[in-house]
Structure 1
């Protein structure tokens, strides 16, 4: 049995959404963050050497890392339904956004978060990170103006990876999307997907998703 271990308000929401899109039979286990420091509880940290979300179990396999989990589940359990065929027109864009999500986009956000917390503030790295972040958002806006999904004509695991960056990740820092109409329209479409709604209701009951 495939088991998805979800830590509240974390990247593991991606994996629940993926399973719902693929209509898989899976076990869902939810863990609340600690009250004192908002980090994962010890029982979650014990699941994997990294001690962070997401984590899945599939028989004897324990696997971490969002992108690896998305590819594993889609190919092993989902018949690669959310991955364009190699050689298709959508394949390169799918690959770029699948890996850009945590390779660049989330990294920018984490650097910005850490710099905002640092004292004294150093304007040189802050300016560097702000420029990288602006360029990344501009690329997202441009992409969603030319294609319905990050992976092209249909939803792929690239969307599963990117949506968290554009939604829940913004709960940790100030990042309005008023200047990005294509992003706003895209998130509205995502929010209307039954699988996304089912996943969010499981992951964060009573909390509205940050879709605007």
Structure 2
């Protein structure tokens, strides 16, 4: 039996979507973030040493990391979500699968971290310095990086219904989290209609809606 070790408000929501698209039977073991630190509970370390989600167990196998999980499930159970090997679409699939966490997600995460730096408790005389550093870093590095990546994705989605063209693939499921988070946080606005339409398109899929119902509260949806 497949088991998803599912942390609330996390990347593991897209694993549930993947499983629903595949029509597989699975069970969910729920974990809740610490309300103060927003970190995963220590109990996740019993599943994987890093104590992070998502993690999937499939019989005796344990698979961690979103991209590895999505790729494993596609190869093991859902080749309809994969392009033909050795083709340009296969290369594109591999690219988007790794791009989601390797290129797009890091600047988005940096933005979140530096925003928290400005709002976290600190001595009053330190706050102006911390705010100045955070704002400057966002202005000269993080902001331009995010704009560059989102312009790139917007341009691609203007000409493609899905990331590999006219059919949903496992690459779409992997790309969903950073784009959904960007829309939810207002990073993607009305100036990028292709991304917004894309997010609405996959959020309307029955499999996605079922995954939301089973996964529980999800702030990015």
With normalisation by structure 1, the TM-score equals 0.89
Post-superposition Cα deviations, 1:137-173, rounded to whole Å, max 9, x if no partner, equal 00111111111101222111111111111114665x5
Matches of residues 54-203 of structure 1 in structure 2 within 5 Å? Answer: 54-78=54-78, 80-118=79-117, 119-122=130-133, 125-126=137-138, 127-168=140-181, 173-203=185-215
Structure with the larger helix share: 2
- Unpaired segments ≥5 residues, structure 1: none
1:50 aligns with 2:50: yes
Distance 1:133 1:169 in 2: 10
**Match of 2:176, SS?**
helix
Post-superposition Cα deviations, 1:93-114, rounded to whole Å, max 9, x if no partner, equal 2222111100011111112222
Q: Contact 1:145 / 1:182 at 8 angstroms: preserved in 2?
A: yes
TM-superposed CA distance for 1:87, in Å, is 3.1
Q: Contact 2:5 / 2:54 at 8 angstroms: preserved in 1?
A: yes
Q: Extract structure 1 runs of 4+ deviating beyond 6 A.
A: none
- Unpaired segments ≥5 residues, structure 2: 118-129
Distance 1:169 1:39 in 2: 20
Q: Contact 1:6 / 1:30 at 8 angstroms: preserved in 2?
A: yes
TM-superposed CA distance for 1:175, in Å, is 1.8
With normalisation by structure 2, the TM-score equals 0.85
**Match of 2:81, SS?**
coil
**Match of 2:80, SS?**
coil
